[in-house]
Structure 1
Amino acid sequence: MKILLIGAVIVDHMMWLDKLPQRGDDVLCKATKSVVGGCAFNVASMLTHLKVPHELCVPVGQGIYANIIKHALQQGGYRYQEDASADNGYCLCLIEQNGERTFITVEGVEGTFKREWLAQINANQYAYIYLVGYQMTGQSGHIIVDWLTQSLHNTTTQIVFAPGPVINAIDETVMDRLFALKPIVHLNRKEILQYTHTTSLTSAMSLLYAKNQNHIVVTLGSEGAAWHQNQQTTFILPVPTQVVDTVGAGDSHIAALMAYLSKGEPWERALQQANRIASAIVGVEGATVDHKTFLKWSINR
């Protein structure tokens, strides 16, 4: 069965700096690069490398950024939802010398989902349905959770929810309805601590598990990942690497996790593979790599 990715494709403007400027500073940028990105696109790129069938449900508008995105999607053989009311958005990715990234996102047409787009999709044909947090904010969140609640009748289909940094901007009603569908939740340490209003990772996972009643994966950067299920927590060791930048680390991790689970790997093995692939992504510039580079990883790791 395939994986459905519900999210956004945007353009990433990447800027490398020695460090983030303070208010009133004037700093020089060391290098820049503009690429097609967005969580759904980054995940799709990794699923392609791993030879896992998948489809995108992403809006593409009309304008400069939309034209760049259309070209990339057409090259990948993807279908997309057209909406000529606005251009697609973009993200300014500020990357410091230590590889840490800071994002400033300007939302475009990808921030508004329409019911008729989802009505065309049979949710029950997918092994996993991946949801990005940005698309669950505002009215789009209500539309998407309505569709899932009304159309998802296949108990083998799993929702995989990556709320991201906007986790506290999602309407509480949407979150409650989504958690009632028992999604797998994938997020980082900062996000889960902010959502649960606690400073303890163990407590945070227990609090979140009371809501979703399913697997929780928390990425921990250089410390690997934590996996919580049935009130038990397992820590998955990291794969040491030289960090170039952390852009796309979470996207590659969740893509690999879904890919290996869909291939029948047990959870712990799938998470080990996800850690391996995420460590490789942070060792290169940007959130995605070409297939030649990916194959080189497979040989060397």
Structure 2
Amino acid sequence: MSIVVIGSLNMDMVVRTKRAPEAGETLFGQEFALSPGGKGANQAVAAARLGAEVTMIGRVGKDSFGSGLLEVMKQEQVHTGYISQSESQSTGVASIVLDEEGENRIIVVPGANVEMKPADIEALESVIRQAGIVVMQLETDLNMVEAAAAIASRHGIPVILNPAPAQPLGDELLHQVTYLTPNETEAGILAGIPVESVDDAERAARILLQKGVQHIIVTLGSKGALIVNASGSLHVPGFPVQAVDTVAAGDSFNGALAWQLTRGKTLDEAVRFANAVGALAVGKAGAIPSLPRLQEVKQFLQEAAEAEPGAQ
């Protein structure tokens, strides 16, 4: 079954520095790079590199960044027929400061990404209703996201919503979400409570469950992920690795999760696989350049299994 990703396409402008500057401070950086990204594009390519059939819905500007992003998506075997080009807005950009610990600070200027409105997505109902699963994030117009979720719900299509960047969401939207994938910070914002531990993450997830989400998967970085649904909760351990760049960690997780679910895997199997994909992604620099291919993930999981205590 195919995956339809509805979301953002950005050109990432990445500066590497030993540490992020304080307010009013100027620092020298070590490296600058332009890297194709955007949460929607990252998630689409993450799934495509694993072997999924992926269609992307989004918008770029009629500029060099937009042309470059379209070319990258085509090279990655993502169907680009529903990525439109704005007549008035520039392609979205993200300014990323990456420190030597691999942590990032990001400012997104969404540009053409937020130009897509409910009417635009309603015109693509025939594309959404044929999907095996729909994947969305929050770097686009929220009203458009709500309209897309309503269309998917109407046709019984599962929806993965990665609620990033975090913002308050209405219960009507949450009720139409099959799989909500916040990190700890986002879970806390959505639930209205501080999240500083796995127990806090579960409490936040329980609040979101009451708002109508079917499955909440809280990503916990190197600690893995926590699944919470009507059946209970399950902590799926992560794969500790040395982080080089965490920019696309969550996006790689979501793309992998979608691919596994369309292949009929159980949720805990899908989350374990997605944890592995995320671990591999943080080990390389860049957003799209860091996303692993299926053979890399298989080898990584095999080596992890062999390293487990009691493994033959």
Output the TM-score relative to the length of structure 1. 0.89
User: Cα distance, 1:64 vs. partner?
Assistant: 3.3
Secondary structure in 2 matching 1:279: helix
| 2:224 match | 224
C-alpha root-mean-square deviation of aligned residues, in Å? Answer: 2.1
The gaps in structure 1 that reach 5 residues or longer are none
Distance 1:108 1:133 in 2: 14
Distance 1:238 1:228 in 2: 16
Answer whether contact 1:124 1:152 (CA < 8 A) is retained.
no
Secondary structure in 2 matching 1:133: coil
| 2:184 match | 189
Secondary structure in 1 matching 2:188: helix
Answer whether contact 2:98 2:104 (CA < 8 A) is retained.
yes
Answer whether contact 2:166 2:189 (CA < 8 A) is retained.
no
Deviations 1:196-237 (A, max 9, x none): 221322221111110123000111112111110116211111
Q: 2:95 aligns with which of 68, 92, 101?
A: 92
Distance 1:107 1:86 in 2: 9
User: Cα distance, 1:102 vs. partner?
Assistant: 0.8
**Percent identity (aligned):** 22
| 1:125 match | 130
| Aligned amino acid, residue 188 of structure 2 | L
| 1:206 match | 206
Distance 1:269 1:153 in 2: 27
Instruction: Tell me: CA distance 1:297–1:205, structure 2 relative to 1, closer, same or farther (3 Å).
Output: closer
Answer whether contact 1:248 1:287 (CA < 8 A) is retained.
yes
Distance 1:218 1:88 in 2: 30
Instruction: Tell me: CA distance 1:225–1:195, structure 2 relative to 1, closer, same or farther (3 Å).
Output: same
Deviations 1:70-114 (A, max 9, x none): 332343452212221121120011111111111011121111113
Of the structure 1 ranges 184-193 and 287-296, higher mean CA displacement relative to structure 2 is found in: 287-296
Instruction: Tell me: CA distance 1:12–1:201, structure 2 relative to 1, closer, same or farther (3 Å).
Output: same
Instruction: Tell me: CA distance 1:292–1:233, structure 2 relative to 1, closer, same or farther (3 Å).
Output: closer
| 1:180 match | 175
The gaps in structure 2 that reach 5 residues or longer are 195-199, 302-312
Distance 1:83 1:117 in 2: 15
| Aligned amino acid, residue 124 of structure 1 | R
| Aligned amino acid, residue 192 of structure 2 | H
Answer whether contact 1:119 1:147 (CA < 8 A) is retained.
no
Structure 1 segment 283-298 matched on structure 2, within 5 A? 283-289=283-289, 295-298=295-298
Secondary structure in 2 matching 1:23: coil
Answer whether contact 1:91 1:103 (CA < 8 A) is retained.
yes
Distance 1:87 1:283 in 2: 31
User: Cα distance, 1:150 vs. partner?
Assistant: 5.2
Deviations 1:17-37 (A, max 9, x none): 111111221211111111110
Alignment: residue pair count: 291
Secondary structure in 2 matching 1:126: coil
